[in-house]
Amino acid sequence: MRIKILLTIVLLTSAITNIYAQEVEGNLNIHTFADNREYARSNRFSQTIFGVRFSPEVGLLLDSTHRIRVGFNALHEFGSSKFTDKIDPVVYYQYVKQNWNFNMGVFPRREYLSDFPRAVLTDTLNYYRPNVEGMLLKFENENWKQLLFIDWTSRQTATARENFIFGLSGRYKKDMFFISHYAMMLHDAGPAINIPGDHIRDNGALVAKIGLDFGHKTFLDSLTFNTGGLMSFERERSVGGWRTPKGILLEMFAEYHRFGITNSFYKGEAHHIMYGDQFYTAKTYNRLDLSWRPKIYKGIEGQFTLSFHFLDGVVDSQQAFAIRYNISGSKSLKKSNAN
């Protein structure tokens, strides 16, 4: 079945190319990762995520505004007896004009949502849900950035629940000063066959920040400070009202010659954010990241991060290393007018 799907994609791409295409584009992304999470001391979920993702794409740039891409994203977890543990399709239309960007279909998450705070969208999604399945609209200029998206995470069947996420983010930056916001809401409805006592659930979070980005104004390559608030929202319809725990965030990031340090501190009420990081179920939490981004080769990115999680009177640790190889190219199909 998978071979038939890939052959269909190739044949369809070839047919469209012969009829319409002005330029053929290609992209190959290989993401190898090892993430060892030692969370037993705080009774969180310990695990080792170790594997590789292979994601090729081919596309048609019809003109300077319209683009179509097709491909797939395959996961192989090391130690698995399967050739691939999961294959996700990549099929989307993209509209890009001036400051506007619109995507519809199944498209990579990393390019658009990687800056969301972990409290709102956990970074585990990068390993196991690399694509957005839905729509995304982004506006960006020199000072402003605003993004809206909807991601359909589960289609309703007789036994499967209906789930989708909608969210937004934005940022305004002027010189060193910036303000930003991030929000997400999960709509969790039941399966087509009703479950007695089951109710529609809504679960989401909002983060608002204000800060200073010193950029290259110090001897460091990067230096940023920000503070803000985290609020989550949760309810079961027809059962009770909204629960809205709140807290304060303090964050700092500095980098020098590809060596970085990030400290994120939270103080407030405990949260239950279904797509958020599990550490924000604590009332006081501090995360310290020590990172290194080695310069490997053109098109190859590497990053090693040693993380310490301080909460509930204990310290958990995490070691993550990843290499990402990305190569892209294009070829015009327009015929030359020269004789």
Q: Does residue 286 belong to any structural domain of this protein?
A: yes
For residues 21 and 60, give the distance between their C-alpha atoms in angstroms, rounded to a whole number: 6
DSSP state of 280: G
State which H helix or E strand residue 266 sits in: strand 259-268
CA distances from 53 to 119, 132, 244, 269 (A): 25, 16, 37, 37
Per-residue pLDDT, 339: 45
Question: Taking 90 as the threshold, does the pLDDT of residue 309 lie above it?
Answer: yes
- Whether residue 337 is contained in a domain is answered as no
Q: Residue 4 above 60 pLDDT?
A: no
What confidence tens digit (pLDDT) does each residue in 266-291 have?
Answer: 999 999 999 999 999 999 999 999 99
- pLDDT single digits (tens) 56-112: 999 999 888 999 999 999 999 999 999 999 999 999 999 999 999 999 999 999 999
Can you say whether the dihedral through the CA atoms of 137, 262, 245, 317 is positive or negative? Answer: positive
Structure confidence at residue 254 (pLDDT)? 97
The average confidence (pLDDT) of the chain is 92
In a domain, 338, yes or no: no
DSSP string, 124-169: THHHH--EEEEEEEEEE-SSEEEEEEEEEEE---SSSPEEEEEEEE
For residues 311-318, give the mean pLDDT.
97
Quickly state the pLDDT bin for 16 (edges 50, 70, 90). Answer: low
Which pLDDT score, from 0 to 100, does residue 12 have? 56
Residue 298 is predicted with a pLDDT of 86
At 17 the pLDDT is: 52
Condensed to tens digits (0 to 9), the pLDDT of residues 162-188 reads: 999 999 999 999 999 999 999 999 999
On whether residue 339 sits in a domain, the answer given is no
Is 226 a domain residue? yes
The mean per-residue pLDDT over the stretch 24-42 comes to 96
| CATH code of the domain containing 202 | 2.40.160
172 residue type, one letter: Y
Instruction: Quote the pLDDT of residue 2.
Output: 58
User: Can you tell me the mean pLDDT for 217-232?
Assistant: 96
Q: Is residue 35 part of a domain?
A: yes
Residue 115 lies in a domain: yes
* Per-residue pLDDT at 338: 46
What is the average per-residue pLDDT within 15-37?
82
pLDDT in tens, 78-89: 999 999 999 999
| Percentage above 90 pLDDT, the chain | 83
- Is the CB of residue 223 less than 8 Å from the CB of residue 214? yes
The strand pairing partners of 102, in sequence order, are: 95, 137
**pLDDT score for 228:** 98
Task: Evaluate whether residue 135 is within a structural domain.
Answer: yes
Q: 315 vs 7, which has greater pLDDT?
A: 315
As for how many domains the chain has, the answer is 1
| Structural domain that includes position 308 | 2-332
